C-alpha cells in the first residue's frame, strides 16, 4: 500500500506549543510538510500481516527545506545529516518492538512566509531483501556475489523487474559509490513501476540499473536477463545471467520440477 500525505504549518494555532502527530500506516509513501512551523512527530507504523518487514528507509525529497529531521532512538533524538553534494542520502532504521519508527521534524526559524516544503519518501522493507539501501561494506559485498541457481530462479519469479537486454554503457559515480548500467531492452517481462520506457521513435525499450561501485561491473557483450528491486524510483541489480546460461538452469529445474514458477522467454 502507498500513502501520500500533506500537512501545512499555516493552519496551526500560533500560540500553541503542541507538537502535531501524524501516523503513516502504509508500507510506502510520501509525506509533505508545507510551510513548516513548530514541530511534527511522524510515526511510521505500517499495518503488517506478518513479521517479515522490520526495516524502514526514508529519503528526503530533493526540495527538502525549512526543517531539521531527527529519529527517536531509546528516548533520544538523533539528528539526521543533511544533503551532501546536492544529494540526500537514504537512511534506514530497524523498527522497535511495536513495529514502528518515530521521526521528529523541527521547523527552522523563518523571517518570511515563502513556500518551503519538508518532505520525504519512505519504504518498509524486509531485512532479507532490502536491496542496496544499507550502505555498509558487508551488505555491498553480499550484493556483489553472483546469484546461485536457486536465487536466480526465485528472482525471476519474485523480483520487481525482469528484463532482457544488452549493456549500452556503464558509468561509475565515485562520490555516490554507485555504478549505473544503461541498457537497451529487448523485452520487459515485468516491472513494478515505469523505470524502463519505450522510445516511440526507435521502438526500443531503454532504462538504467544501479549497483554498488565496488562490484566492479564491466561492459559485456550479448543478451542478459536483468532482475532486481526498485527503491525510490531506481532499479537496483540483483541477478544478471546471460540468457543462454539462464535457459540451461531453467530447463534443468523444469525437468526436475524444482522451478518455483513458469517463465516463458
Tell me whether residue 262 is in a domain.
Answer: no
pLDDT at position 118 is: 87
- Residue environment code for 208-218, b if the CB has 16+ CB neighbours within 10 A, otherwise e: bbbbbbeeebe
The 10s digit of each residue's pLDDT in 32-63 is 998 888 899 999 888 776 666 678 888 888 88
Q: Is 179 in contact with 213 (CB distance < 8 Å)?
A: yes
Question: In total, how many domains does the chain have?
Answer: 2
Neighbours of 220 (CB within 10 A): 12
User: Does residue 193 share a domain with residue 91?
Assistant: no
pLDDT reported for residue 49? 67
Which residues span the domain enclosing 111?
2-129
pLDDT in tens, 244-254: 999 999 999 99
CATH of the domain at 194: 2.40.50.120
- What's the pLDDT at 136? 47
CATH of the domain at 22: 2.60.120
pLDDT in tens, 158-190: 899 999 999 999 999 887 788 999 998 888 999
- Work out the burial of residue 61: count CB atoms within 10 Å of its CB; fewer than 13 is exposed, 13-18 middle, 19 or more buried: middle
pLDDT tens-digit profile of 229-240? 888 888 999 999
Asked whether residue 137 is domain-assigned, the answer is no
Mean pLDDT value of segment 100-120: 83
Across 215-224, average pLDDT: 87
Amino acid at each position: 500500500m502507498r500513502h501520500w500525505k500533506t500537512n501545512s504549518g499555516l493552519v496551526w494555532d500560533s500560540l500553541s506549543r503542541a507538537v502535531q502527530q501524524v501516523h503513516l500506516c502504509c508500507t510506502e509513501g510520501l509525506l509533505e510538510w508545507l510551510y513548516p512551523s513548530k514541530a511534527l512527530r511522524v510515526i511510521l507504523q505500517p499495518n503488517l500481516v506478518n513479521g517479515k518487514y522490520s526495516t524502514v528507509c526514508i529519503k528526503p525529497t530533493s526540495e527538502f527545506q525549512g526543517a531539521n529531521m531527527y529519529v527517536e532512538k531509546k528516548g533520544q533524538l538523533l539528528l539526521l545529516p543533511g544533503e551532501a553534494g546536492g544529494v540526500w542520502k537514504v537512511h534506514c532504521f530497524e523498527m522497535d518492538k511495536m513495529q514502528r519508527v518515530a521521526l521528529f521534524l523541527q521547523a527552522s526559524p523563518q523571517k518570511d512566509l515563502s513556500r518551503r516544503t519538508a518532505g520525504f519518501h519512505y519504504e518498509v522493507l524486509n531485512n532479507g531483501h532490502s536491496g542496496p539501501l544499507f550502505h555498509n561494506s558487508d551488505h555491498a559485498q553480499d550484493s556483489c556475489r553472483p546469484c546461485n541457481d536457486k536465487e536466480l530462479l526465485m528472482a525471476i519469479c519474485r523480483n520487481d523487474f525482469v528484463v532482457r537486454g544488452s549493456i549500452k554503457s556503464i558509468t561509475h559515480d565515485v562520490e555516490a559509490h554507485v555504478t549505473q548500467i544503461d541498457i537497451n531492452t529487448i523485452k520487459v517481462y515485468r516491472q513494478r513501476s515505469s523505470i524502463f520506457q519505450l522510445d516511440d521513435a526507435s521502438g526500443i525499450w531503454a532504462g538504467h540499473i544501479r549497483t554498488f561501485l565496488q562490484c566492479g561491473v564491466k561492459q559485456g557483450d550479448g543478451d542478459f536477463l536483468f532482475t532486481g528491486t526498485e527503491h525510490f524510483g531506481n532499479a537496483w541489480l540483483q541477478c544478471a545471467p546471460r540468457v543462454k546460461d539462464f535457459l540451461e538452469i531453467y530447463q534443468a529445474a523444469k525437468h526436475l520440477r524444482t522451478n518455483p514458477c513458469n517463465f516463458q522467454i
